[in-house]
Amino acid sequence: MARYLKTSDIAKSVGIHVNTVRLYEAWGFIAPVPRSKSGYRLFTPLHLEQMRLAHLALKYPYPGGKEVVLELVKCVVEGDLGMAMELAYHYLANIRTEQTHAEAAIEFMERWARGQVLDTTRRSLSITQAANHLGVTVDQLRNWERNGLLTIPRDPRTGYRQYGAAEIGRLRVIRMLRQTGHSMMAILRVLRQFDAGETEGLRETLDTPGENEDMATIVDRWLTTLAEQERRAQAIIQQLAAMIDAAP
């Protein structure tokens, strides 16, 4: 390998566009790149490894927060690979925490689907009372109803919504799934299956966009996404280990 690499060499090796290389340099995601007398960038093999690390780390989504990843990349640029490795394991722990929360929400949903009563509300609640009871906003409750996640019975005399134990229990499932990363579409998908009397395979349905859905996002298949992100965190750790081994 030549002592200095061109922008195109870096781009080809990492599998990115040359403009991405320039942007990463401008944003400080790799160490400053010296220039030749004629103004050409003079990348080194170390820049190449930093670019591989940055490109691997700086990809949406960031379970548990992007800050730890940005700090990790900053440590690599500054040459503190030990702290970068520590942060990489912290990021891996964040992902595994998100996985645990997502799994717990699914178990909660499955318990509800088997007929477990999830609320002991003895009287009908108004929308404001239901929101306070659940610790959510009135707007959230209206949004979930508007998006078809549930239908709330109304008082035939006043037309006001009446939230009973069944509605509150269903709302607990919706809230927990939303709080742990699942999209509205994924939740709607699984609730439609439940309402059709099909209570088996809800976990798979939650994580599998239907053929007729307009678009699938990462949170429409959140369990799969988290598994992919765990593999990415492991790849970051492997890249850092290789950089540490190669350090003079």
For residue range 99-143, what is the model confidence (pLDDT) as tens digits?
A: 999 999 999 999 999 998 888 888 899 999 999 999 999 999 999
Side-chain half-sphere exposure of 225, counting CA atoms within 13 A: 22
Q: Mind listing the pLDDT tens digit for each residue in 215-239?
A: 557 788 999 999 999 999 999 999 9
Which amino acid belongs to residue 104? A
**Cβ-contact 77, 29 below 8 angstroms:** yes
**Cβ-contact 128, 141 below 8 angstroms:** no
Q: Mind listing the pLDDT tens digit for each residue in 5-44?
A: 999 999 999 999 999 999 999 999 999 999 999 989 999 9
* The pair of three-digit structure tokens given for residue 235, joined into one six-digit string: 């790849």
* Domain spans of the chain, in order of start: 1-51, 98-224
Nearest to 68 by CA among 229, 220, 181: 229
With respect to CATH, is domain 1-51 assigned 2.40.50.140? no
User: Which residues, including other chains, have CB under 8 Å from residue 99's CB and lie 6 or more apart?
Assistant: 223, 226, 227, 230
Residues 86, 72: Cα–Cα separation, whole Å: 8
**Cβ-contact 166, 122 below 8 angstroms:** no
Question: What CATH architecture applies to the domain 98-224?
Answer: Orthogonal Bundle (1.10)
Which amino acid belongs to residue 225? T
Give burial (CB, 10 Å; 0-12/13-18/19+) of 68: middle
User: 1-51 with 98-224: one CATH topology?
Assistant: yes
Instruction: Write down the residue that tokens 């350090």 correspond to.
Output: 247
**Cβ-contact 52, 239 below 8 angstroms:** yes
